[in-house]
Amino acid sequence: MAKHIIEVSGRGVVVRGNDIDTDRIIPARYMKEITFDHMGEYAFYDERFTQELGRDGKPQQKAHPFNDVRFRGASILLVNKNFGCGSSREHAPQALMRWGITAIVGESFAAIFAGNCTMLGIPTLTVSSQEIEELMQQVEAHPQEQLVLDIAAVRIAAGNLRGEASMPESIRKALTEGTWDSTSLLLDGKDAIAALAKRLPYLNTFRGGSQGTGDVGRA
């Protein structure tokens, strides 16, 4: 069973803006790898680094919260609306996670992105526009302060701020009960899966004519 995620705490990093898409979180050219090992290096790459090389022969840092020394070592990401829209690439939450992010608080999240975060054990909590603004201001003013996300109670504490957040009850349960890495939970339903497959008309009463003529895995 996966880790029970009851509480997440750490310092915050603020990435402002609505509709930040997964191409911005990780440009497609960095997905040409067969493991997720290096994804942390590519988080927000084009927003963090210049295309032109500097005198040292390396890309130069641009102003971005992930480059900001005040947020170094931060692990809780604060965002606005529709964060993670676009592509289904798990490379995006993988990049954030491997950069050091352990939880995200925002106004809203794109559906596939939020699902991917859950699969990695990264809670995505939602709060109102006013609340996220207060949290963002708090973190920007006091970047050294700890935020505490109580996943079990779905509450956030930051400095003097205390408040409720939202997350689907099923996701809260999956995280706190350690079933967010769902494979073994799903495997438990093995017999029920087989029984259902036997009931589906398109797998039984009218299977497709041909089962295909392509070669399996031919190199």
Tell me which residues in 158-197 interact with other proteins (CB under 8 A): 168-171, 173-174, 177, 179, 181-183, 185-187, 189-190, 192-193, 196-197
Q: Is 217 in the site for other proteins (CB under 8 A)?
A: yes
- Name the token pair of 180: 């967010």
End-to-end CA distance of the chain: 37
As measured in angstroms, the least distance from the Cβ of 103 to other proteins is: 17
> Using an 8 Å Cβ cutoff, are 52 and 78 in contact?
no
Largest Cα span, the chain: 69
Nearer to other proteins, 111 or 153 (CB): 111
Of 167, 149, 147, the C-alpha closest to 6 is: 149
If one counts every other C-beta atom within 10 angstroms of the C-beta of residue 24, the result is: 18
Nearer to other proteins, 11 or 108 (CB): 108
Which stretch, 32-40, 65-73, 139-147, 157-165, contacts other proteins (CB under 8 A)?
A: 32-40
Mind giving me the DSSP string for 9-42?
Answer: EEEEEE---S--BHHHHS-GGGG-SSSSTTGGGG
If one counts every other C-beta atom within 10 angstroms of the C-beta of residue 195, the result is: 10
Nearer to other proteins, 75 or 90 (CB): 90
Considering only residues 8, 24, 42, 102, which one is a binding residue for other proteins as defined by CB under 8 A?
Answer: 24
Considering only residues 93, 100, 106, 123, which one is a binding residue for other proteins as defined by CB under 8 A?
Answer: 93
Q: Is 63 in the site for other proteins (CB under 8 A)?
A: no
Residue tagged 């596939």 (tokens): 112
Segment 98 to 127, residues that bind other proteins, using CB under 8 A: 108-112, 115-116, 119-120
Which stretch, 134-142, 147-155, 156-164, 201-209, contacts other proteins (CB under 8 A)?
A: 201-209
Q: Containing H/E element for 188?
A: none
As measured in angstroms, the least distance from the Cβ of 144 to other proteins is: 28
